[in-house]
Amino acid sequence: MGVSVNYKILLSIAVIIIASTLSGCIGGDSDGDGLSYSDETSGWDIKVYYVNGTNATIHVTSNPNKYDTDGDGLSDFEELAHLTNPRSSDTDGDGLSDYDEIKVYGIYAMDQDSERPYPDGLIDGLEVNGWYINVSGVKTHVTSDPLSYDTDGDGWSDYEEYQHKTNPKSTDTDGDGAMDSIDIDPVWNIKVTIDLLNFTLANSPNPYSISKPYFQIMINTNITTAAKIPLMHNNEIFNLNDTKYDAYKVDIPDYLGNNPVSVKIIALDNNTHQTISYSGITVKADVILKINGTQDYWQGSQYINEEEKTYSTSGTNGMLNFKIIIVRE
């Protein structure tokens, strides 16, 4: 909501200023503010623009016996020159005095939302005085530029930053490497823990029915190889209480495409091997323990707002219970 020029108001103001200057030279200006008695009492029209897109034309007057009728630091003559209300220290009601808007911040005292030509939807007083946000658990005070639609240039208007509770002067509020406008959580760095709870060996592929299981855990593109479990026999259950068996607080890129978080778990047997040939090269590899029916791995996903969920998967060779935990830091 930019401010359009009202030439009739400007013309009438110009006439008043010229007349007041002349009358001030020959008398009639008892308070010495540059306006004649008749001009102060008859007044003039101003136009006030509101943040909701509406506007109002208001007729105002000033006190001919006061240099600064409203005591805001602007003389009545300056109020006339800037088309503000000499009887209100805050003409547009945006939380900033007319003096501060004109003399300190260089913004429009008759417009609640001063950006031109595209207002951002935030009232000037809020942009200047600021508000509090919570970044990684820390209460932080932020402000924005009342003359800029998008203060930090990250693709979010200052109003959107206010809605998302991000810092309008930082393209990456939480410092996790993802710009606010494409961050799955712009005020927290998202990490993921895969907490393995217990594993049951159902049917070891080893001819002696003894396996040494371990797990490879892929979170998006990050791969963690957990510590190997001690030798197990068929139908034995091993509790995986130690974090060495987990993928612990894996830091994932916080881009929008990573929500939901993709997780893939492969169980292997370090006590049973198979021969694999690839491009003329033959190697020995640990045998995969099937923990998802007859498939070689379990794969799933979890949205970051789900925070913590417990899963159970079983297959030909064993059963695994685990949690996916979303960690915010």
Helix and strand counts by DSSP (H, E) for the chain: 6, 16
What CA–CA distance (Å, rounded) separates 161 from 121?
11
- Which pLDDT score, from 0 to 100, does residue 12 have? 61
* Distance separating alpha carbons of residues 14 and 12, to the nearest angstrom: 5
Domain 190-328 superfamily per CATH: C2 domain (2.60.40.150)
Q: List the Cα angle 124/127/133 in 5-degree steps.
A: 150
Per-residue confidence (pLDDT) for residue 26, from 0 to 100: 46
Cα(224)–Cα(218) distance, rounded to whole angstroms? 6
- According to the model, what pLDDT value does residue 17 have? 61
Question: 7-46 b/e with 16+ CB inside 10 Å = b?
Answer: eeeeeebeebbeebeebbeeebbebebbbbbebbeebbeb
Domain boundaries, the chain: 7-104, 130-178, 190-328
Contacts of 7 (CB under 8 A, 6+ apart): none
One pLDDT digit (tens) per residue for the chain, 329 residues = 444 556 656 666 665 666 555 554 444 898 999 999 999 999 999 999 999 999 999 999 999 999 999 999 999 999 999 999 999 999 999 999 999 999 999 999 999 999 999 999 999 999 999 999 999 999 999 999 999 999 999 999 999 999 999 999 999 999 999 999 999 999 999 999 999 999 999 999 999 999 999 999 999 999 999 999 999 999 999 999 999 999 999 999 999 999 999 999 999 999 999 988 888 888 999 999 999 999 999 999 999 999 999 999 999 999 999 999 999 99
pLDDT at 25: 47
Tokens of 78: 């300056």
ω into residue 117 within 30 of 0, thus cis?
A: yes
